[in-house]
């Protein structure tokens, strides 16, 4: 089986700053009715590695069981992998490369800065932000959301959880692009503190959702 051609392939990225592997969502969407936990990953010696798969159409991940696979293939700490898929929860590593900068990470990944495929918005958190149900957004962020004509946004966190937040538009869409998001549950559940800076990262092919994570101020 190992030397047979796979029926499909996809990418997954593991960075040293994260404890999980982010999997290309388009692949999971395509095979969501077939994928189970755990994944069985063949190696060239006839053995098998099992990795825990957390399904999620917004942010699918691999986690437990990663280290033995990494050691077997000698993956670098920051790695972009192409997997082959054989059906029946069977996979193999086709190839991999080391990731040296965020502009080379594929756009589905939370830390990607891939040119022309990703847009980011950074927001400082104040004391007042922690006590209000609606977070007003900078004009350029509000304009981006208004131009996309969306009233709901999915915030995806590093631990794999996600939150649906309403987008509130105020005033004229062109002359007064004030917008906010109702983020009560997100704030209360993610231990956000004043002084933090949050990054909202969008893949421009899936603007109904974004990754949210703190960055160094």
- Does residue 178 carry a pLDDT above 70? no
Q: Kindly give the pairing relationship between strand 209-215 and strand 152-156.
A: parallel
The angle formed by the CA atoms of residues 131, 132 and 138, to the nearest 5 degrees, is 120
Show the domains of the chain with their CATH numbers: 8-104 (2.40.330.10), 118-215 (2.40.330.10)
Q: What is the pLDDT of residues 184-213, one digit of tens each?
A: 788 878 888 889 999 999 999 988 899 999
In whole angstroms, how far apart are CA 12 and each of 26, 85, 125, 183?
11, 12, 31, 29
Q: Kindly give the pairing relationship between strand 209-215 and strand 134-136.
A: unpaired
Instruction: Please give the residue that has the higher pLDDT: either 32 or 131.
Output: 32
- Please list the residues that pair with 173 across neighbouring strands: none
CB half-sphere exposure, 102, CA atoms < 13 A: 12
| Strands in 35-127 per DSSP E | 39-42, 48-51, 53-54, 61-62, 79-87, 90-98, 118-124
Distance CA 43, CA 211 (A): 32
Checking phi first, is residue 65 left (phi over 0); if not, alpha (psi -120 to 50) or beta? Answer: left
Distance CA 20, CA 50 (A): 14
Q: What is the pLDDT of residues 73-107, one digit of tens each?
A: 999 999 999 999 999 999 999 999 999 999 999 99
Range of 79-83, 128-132, 145-149, 155-159 with top mean pLDDT = 79-83
pLDDT mean over 57-84? 95
Q: Which long-range contacts (CB under 8 A, 24 or more apart) does 125-129 make?
A: 125/192, 125/193, 125/194, 125/195, 125/196, 125/197, 125/198, 126/194, 127/194, 129/187, 129/192, 129/194
pLDDT mean over 5-22? 96
Checking phi first, is residue 87 left (phi over 0); if not, alpha (psi -120 to 50) or beta? Answer: left
- Is the pTM higher than 0.75? The answer reads yes
């Amino acid at each position: 089986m190992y030397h047979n051609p796979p029926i499909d392939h996809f990418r997954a990225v593991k960075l040293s700053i994260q404890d999980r592997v982010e999997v290309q969502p388009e692949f999971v969407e395509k095979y969501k009715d077939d994928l189970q936990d755990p994944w069985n990953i063949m190696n060239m010696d006839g053995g098998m590695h099992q990795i825990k798969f957390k399904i999620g159409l917004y942010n699918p991940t691999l986690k437990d069981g990663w280290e033995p696979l990494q050691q077997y293939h000698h993956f670098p700490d920051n790695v972009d992998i192409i997997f082959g898929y054989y059906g029946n929860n069977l996979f193999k590593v086709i190839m991999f490369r080391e990731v040296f900068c965020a502009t080379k990470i594929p756009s589905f990944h939370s830390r990607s800065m891939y040119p022309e495929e990703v847009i980011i918005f950074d927001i400082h958190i104040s004391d007042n932000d922690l006590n209000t149900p609606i977070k007003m957004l900078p004009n350029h962020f509000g304009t981006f959301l208004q131009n996309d004509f969306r009233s709901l946004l999915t915030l995806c966190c590093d631990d794999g959880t996600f939150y649906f937040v309403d987008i509130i538009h105020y005033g004229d869409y062109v002359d007064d692009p004030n917008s906010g998001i109702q983020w009560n549950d997100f704030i209360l559940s993610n231990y956000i503190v004043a002084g933090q800076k949050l990054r909202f990262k969008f893949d421009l092919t899936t603007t109904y959702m974004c990754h949210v994570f703190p960055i160094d101020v």
